[in-house]
Structure 1
Amino acid sequence: MKRLPENDRWRAIGMLQVKETYYNVARYLNVSQPVIKRLWNRYQETGKVTDLPRKGRPRSTTADQDRKLVNKVMEDRHLTSTQLRHSFLAATGVSVSKQTVRNRLHAVNLRARRPHIVRPLSAHHREARKTWSQQHAKWTAKQWDSVMFSDESIYTLNARDGRLRVWRRAGERHIPCTVIKEDLYARGRVQVWAGITTTGRTELHICHGSLTGLYYRDKMIREVVMPFAKRQGKDFIFQDDNAPAHRSRLVQDEWQGNNVRTLPWPAMSPDLSPIEPLWDMLRRQVRERRPPPENLQELADVLQEEWRRIPQEKIEGLIRSMRRRCLACLASDGASIHQ
């Protein structure tokens, strides 16, 4: 039904007051006669032309019950809407839908999100992280400029994170433009390695085979890291984590034989490394590629291409954040920190 603007409503009342018919007024304003009749009756009863207040559907919960629901979530953030619905029914005797539960939580800005994953840290791990952070919190930017941070990461083919959606109407489930092609038997993975500094980065190395100490020494250290170290000079410092290949005797002898300083690294501390956020960035860039890579070779090529596209300013900013990371670790008493 067409809603009349207020000025047209008063125009209709004026026409009716001078004895114009419902038919003529409705035709003049391009509305139905019942609209004009209801408008005239409302004016006769109230002296107004505005709509009367409409009663909506009554709320199924009270404000006190809403607070109890929110308090329940604050006690346990992992409860699902189904579990909350059942506990709410048991506590209040009021049956509500899962959508009502979500609506009440949305009203106080509580929304379901993927949880942040952290490493389980023992007391020994936390103490080691605090000690390391205390030792390096006062490092200058020049000292961090001398460090090459390195790491490996694994990327899988046809990996879905459960969040991919398509827009479609009812009955369009199987049309080609809404279908995702995924060969469940064509899964595979690509392991990559890279190093970063404030002034540059290595190429993204695609690891072929298992990452042993011998492979790490021959392919990463000798072919990639040592040329960087020679250009940097005596101030060069190399960082990697405590993976078995990194701490093998072959690798340690290589560092000692070339007089290369290494940066001791606390166990279970990927959140302290500035290279970790780059892996997430690279993963997002690959996931957004259209069309996506269909085999391992395409995945490797795309990874290397997207790695080169990461701005050096981003890398420099992450390395410059090392002091902040150290201070955050100390402030959290050695617990995991937000990157």
Structure 2
Amino acid sequence: MTQKYFDEKVICQTLDYNYSAGGDSEKFHIAFGIDKNFLFGCGVSVASILLANPDAALAFHVFTDYFSDEDRGRFEALAKQYRTQIVVYLVDCEQLKSLPSTKNWSYATYFRFIIADYFAGKTTKVLYLDADIACKGSIEALIELTFSDTEIAAVVAEGEAGWWEKRAVSLATPGLSKGYFNAGFLLINIPQWAAENISGKAIDMLRDPQAMRRITHLDQDVLNILLVGKSRFIDKKYNTQFSINYELKKDTVNPVNNNTVFIHYIGPTKPWHSWGLYPIAQSFLQAKKGSPWHDVALLTPKNSHQLRYAAKHMFNQNRYFSGILTYLKYFLSKIFK
């Protein structure tokens, strides 16, 4: 039985940029849930997937609460350039704004629940991705993956056994000691998700003060609790996590290699930031060059938090004069905030 917490009334407007030749039944569906701060990254992420998978029949779905005329022009140009389909859904977020949020996670993190419910009854499988992901390999194996009757999602582990054990204890869920996943990549078995009402159970848990006393990673923790024993863990090449801020540490090990399919740029510094210019950002920058965002400048620091990190990275990149100026801006921002 299909159960949905969110009905389609939460979608205020749909914009369908369809320049593909194939029918809907042939397409593999990839979805993003973002606020205005990630539209740039999302557009380039879509471009990276298209560049790495030129022969795949794909449809992209962007759920957002903000979409300017400029965004409309660039996303339509992207669909036209690669002869693909990009559907944009403007979402009414009132139901989400009362849910817990942090400085790092806005209510947009809950769009993945709207996405899963929206596709119930429309398709069997949807790949949800965070917008700070760049593709550098084939997703053919994901397109061909088939689920068992009990599997709700295919996921990628975050960290190693020591971290899983800590989450198992913190979340009072012993099964997590066998694996804890990062929710930035979710290949969702839509019928099974709907049959078990995962969105409804997740929202109920997020509204439960007792449950929230244990939870630190918001919907990621909730999904790990709900999907324990019901997920298929797949290779880390599909969600290879790396923070550009790791570049500030000595002896940083870069996990990205020739087998990596998706690079997930976790942490506050993103590849679209002007201070994140390292080799690790090349997958994003190459996709940007091959997209309608090719002429968009990388973003400069907008607040004290970003100014501090930008200055550190500039010194790390031997850009000393820029680093000094940025540190001055940072101190001034703290004095006059």
TM-score for the superposition, normalised by structure 1: 0.20
User: Which of 1 and 2 has greater Rg?
Assistant: 1
